[in-house]
Amino acid sequence: MRPSPDCKLCDLHRGRTTIVLPDGNPSYGIVFVGEGPGEFEDLEGRPFVGRSGKILDNMMREAGFDRTKVMITNTVKCRPPNNRDPMPEEMAACRQFLESELYDARLIVGLGKSACRDLMGYEGPMSEIVNIPITIKVRDREIVFIPTYHPAATIYNKDSRAALQETMRVVAEWLK
């Protein structure tokens, strides 16, 4: 299920250039979920193509895989103003689309606090949950979920970078 091109389920439609749909290959059953599109994603219509996307692509490559082996999406499909975190009501409006993207997954990787809050209901510090697999429910299915740092969090923090690199190593194992 995808949003209609003229989707107006929440106020994010007011500032978008385009709806940012998932990118990559769902057939391997591994889905990365980010928070929301940024400026470059909004212009190009693909998730993780800006600075964070380059970090993510490099870390995937270092771990031995690339975007052709995973699917990448966001909790919301339209860019939040000033790149703020998506609001709960905005994530709720897009939830039906996200659930349809995640339903057949074997593994979901939550990139960043907003994605983890939306998908696992967690409100605490990321450092307490990063790379600790849990099971989440997507409709009637239970799916393994790995919470991790957003690529942007790794720019100035070596610990976050090391944790995200470890996430990529785990994903590479799932791909074998």
Adjacent-strand bridge partners of 136:
143
Per-residue confidence (pLDDT) for residue 174, from 0 to 100: 97
pTM to 2 decimal places:
0.97
Candidates 3.40.470.10, 1.10.3720.10, 3.90.1150.10, 3.30.450.20; CATH matching 11-175: 3.40.470.10
pLDDT class of 89 with cuts at 50, 70, 90:
very high
Mean pLDDT, to the nearest integer, of 95-123? 97
Per-residue confidence (pLDDT) for residue 84, from 0 to 100: 93
Mean pLDDT, to the nearest integer, of 90-104? 97
Q: How far apart are CA 35 and CA 111, in angstroms?
A: 7
- The residue among 41, 43, 78 whose CA lies nearest residue 56 is 41
Q: How far apart are CA 134 and CA 153, in angstroms?
A: 22
Whether the Cβ atoms of residue 48 and residue 41 lie closer than 8 Å to each other: yes
Which residue ranges make up each domain of the chain? Answer: 11-175
Alpha-carbon torsion (68, 72, 78, 79), positive or negative: negative
Helices (H), 7-50: 39-44
Taking all residues of the chain, what is their mean pLDDT, rounded to a whole number? 97
